[in-house]
Each structure stands twice: as C-alpha cells, then as structure tokens.
Amino acid sequence: MALSRSGNDLTRNRDFTVFWAGQTLSFLGDAFSIVAIPLLVLEVTGSLTRMGVVTALIGVGSLVAGIAAGPIVDRFDRRKLMIRCDLGRAIVYALVPVGWWLAGPHLWLVYAVTLIGSALAMLFGVAYITAVANLVERDQIVDANGRLQASYALAFILGPFLAGVISGRFGPALAIGLDGITFLASAISLAFVRLRRPNAERPASERENSIEEFLAGVRFLIGSPLFRWLTILIGALAFASTGVTDLVIFYLKEDLGQGDRVVGIVFGVASVGTMLSGLLTPRLRRSFGFGACLIGGFILEGCALLLVGGSASIALLASVWAVAAFGSSTRGIVSMTLRQELTPDHLLGRVTAAFWTVFSVPGPLGALVLTAFGERVGTRAALVVVGIVILGIATIALFTPVRAFAPAIRQAEPGGAG
C-alpha cells in the first residue's frame, strides 16, 4: 500500500514531473557526449592514452569544482544555480563544432571544453542531489531517484546509437555540439520548477570560508564509520574503473575493427541494464536492504567485466556490458539515496561535494594508469584485471558497516561535522 501511495504522490507532484522531463532531455545530450568525446579524440590521435588524458581531465575539473561546489550550493538559490550551469555548458559544448568548422581539429579545444564542462557538471550535480531531496518527501527519494535513473538509462539507449550514427556520418564534433541544445532544454524546464527550500537553512555558526565549509562536509563523512567506508570503497572503485569506457570503445574500434555506429549500439544495449536498475532498485532495496544492493552491484559489475574482457562477440559483449551497467546503476542509486536520507539538508550540498570530490582524486589517476596499462598489455587483459579488482572491493565491503540492511549514523556524528 505504501508503494502505491508513494508512486501516486510522485505522479501528482508537478514540480518533480517538470524536473524529471527536463533532466531526461539533458540525459540524452549526456549520452551523446560520453560516446562522442572519446570517438573524437580517437579520430584525431588514434591513441588510447590520449583518451585516458581526456577522461582524467574530467576528473580534474570535477575535483577543482568540487572543493567550492558544496559551500556554493548550500549558500545560494539551488535552482538558479542549476540554470546558470546549464547555460554555461550549452555555450561550452557548442564551441567544439564551431571551433572545428572555423579552425579545424584542435585537441586543446577538446581538453578545454572537457575541463570546463566537467567543472560545471560537478556544480550542477551537487545542486541536483539537493534539488531531488527538496522536490519529494523523504520516503519517496528512492522512488524519485529510480525514476530519474530509468530516464537516464532510456536516454542512454537511444543517445549512444544516435551519437554513433551522427559521428559516423557528420563527425563526432557535431554530436558533441548537440549536447549543448539539451542543456538549454534543461534550463528552460528548471525555470518552471519550485523547490520547497531554494536555499539551505544553515545555522549562523556554520557560515565560514569556502575551505572550512568544504572541510565540514569531509568531517561529516569521516566522522561516520558508515560514510567513511562508503567513501573509501567508492574511491577505490573510481581508481579501478574510471577508464573502463575508454577501454571498451578502443576495444571495439581498434581490436574488433567496428565503426562508430556499432559503438553506439553496444552502449545503447548496455543502457537497458541501467534502465532496468532504475525501475527495480526501489523494490530491491526494500526487499533486500541497502547492503545487499550495494555489494551485489559491485559483484555484478566485477563479474561482467571479467566476461567483457574475454568476449569477441559483439552481441555477447553488449549483453554483458548491460549486466555491468545494471550493477553499477544499482550501486549508485542506493548510495546516493542513503546520503540524501541521512544527511541534514543544511549540510547536504557540502557532504555531496566532499563525497564526489574525494573520489574525483583517484578517478583521473586511475584513468591514466588504466589506459596506459591497457595500451601496454591489451584492452582485454586490462578489463579482466579491473573485474578482479572490483570483486576484491566487494569482498572488503562484506566486513564493513555498509553491509547492513538499513544503515544508520549515530546522533552525535552530525554535530562533529560543523
């Protein structure tokens, strides 16, 4: 009965529905760029290591912006902040096709767009997490995240296929530019959304400089054994797997000799796993608990990567990649929902930024290491190694507080954050 009531309430929530529709269009653009940017770098350089550099720059932009993102999100109107980030990203991504048309291929432009775009994405993403928590009731957060994740996956079924087709026919630069249009759609939708709390209601004692405010989020994370272990585990995963997308694209293009269209199809099929996760995770979490969903996501992802690394069949590779996407998405949904549920609203922006920033440090390093390793030993061997490492992370998680059915933080810990 509670499930039905929650679903009906979300359906009648106009602000969430408008937000959901706008973000679905934005997700479609993200699906273009996540495939088109590596294809563009590969087209210009033919180098797996250069693809890793671009992936690392995404992490660097996220890291730099993450230090300031939490205090900014907890200090200013979150809706207006997201609109400005969308407008900024629309302009930045439009520079790629314009630059290609006016001056020809320049890798430095891709580097600059990637760096700036990822910084704006980090700022938007932190505000996005707080927005969801202020659009729905607390007991509806997992349902809201599930619906948004399902839309994300649906966009990634269609988006990579279209990106592959457009990249193959018109070049990946144009596909990246189309991402900018979707950010405009997101900005327009946000103009019609109203949050319950546009700004965080923060105690006067917590109004400090940016570094101190960022450290308040870090202290909240490390002060709780639950969040501390969750951050360590996700950080280890970021180091191991941030460069996996580059490996898969390089494997398809160079090792298997496939075109951009096939790359798009493979990523589109894989997104079916993400969509199913978005639909099923709320029910899975209620039935099996947080710990089983988180650790099960690790296990599915690790086992799937072992099989991806041993597959030469496009159909099998796409199917196994979908299993990896299901595991990754399930893990992400329950982790994000837990932070939204257990973090006080006045700290949510800073805690989210601190969490993302902490694992933004190992991510870029891991991408550089993994792509260089893959170029040296081969992409198939590198994918197998990543799968083994992720299964090792899942094993460690079994002996930490994250294994609990419904984890909780001690009442004294939030006070130590601030």
Better-scored residue on pLDDT, 63 or 219: 219
Position 415 scores a pLDDT of 39
Look at residue 256 and give its three-state secondary structure: coil
Task: Let me know: does 98 contact 42? Beta carbons within 8 Å.
Answer: no
Task: Provide the pLDDT confidence category of residue 199 given band limits of 50, 70 and 90.
Answer: low
Q: 15-198+209-409: which CATH number, 3.30.70.100, 3.40.710.10, 1.20.1250.20, 1.10.3720.10?
A: 1.20.1250.20
Q: How far apart are CA 402 and CA 59, in angstroms?
A: 25
Position 56 scores a pLDDT of 79
Look at residue 46 and give its three-state secondary structure: coil
Task: Provide the pLDDT confidence category of residue 174 given band limits of 50, 70 and 90.
Answer: confident
Q: How far apart are CA 345 and CA 327, in angstroms?
A: 28
Task: Let me know: does 183 contact 29? Beta carbons within 8 Å.
Answer: yes
Average confidence (pLDDT) over 226-242: 89
Instruction: Pick the closest to residue 189 from 348, 372, 25 (CA basis).
Output: 25
Position 87 scores a pLDDT of 93
Position 198 scores a pLDDT of 62
Average pLDDT, the chain: 81
Position 410 scores a pLDDT of 54
Position 417 scores a pLDDT of 36
Look at residue 76 and give its three-state secondary structure: coil
Ranges of each domain in the chain: 15-198+209-409
Q: How far apart are CA 391 and CA 238, in angstroms?
A: 14
User: Residue 242 to residues 55, 187, 267, 281, 331: CA-CA distances in angstroms?
Assistant: 8, 28, 16, 23, 15
pLDDT over 90 at 275, yes or no:
no
Q: How far apart are CA 332 and CA 324, in angstroms?
A: 12
Task: Provide the pLDDT confidence category of residue 26 given band limits of 50, 70 and 90.
Answer: confident
Average confidence (pLDDT) over 122-150: 82
Better-scored residue on pLDDT, 239 or 161: 239
Position 290 scores a pLDDT of 93
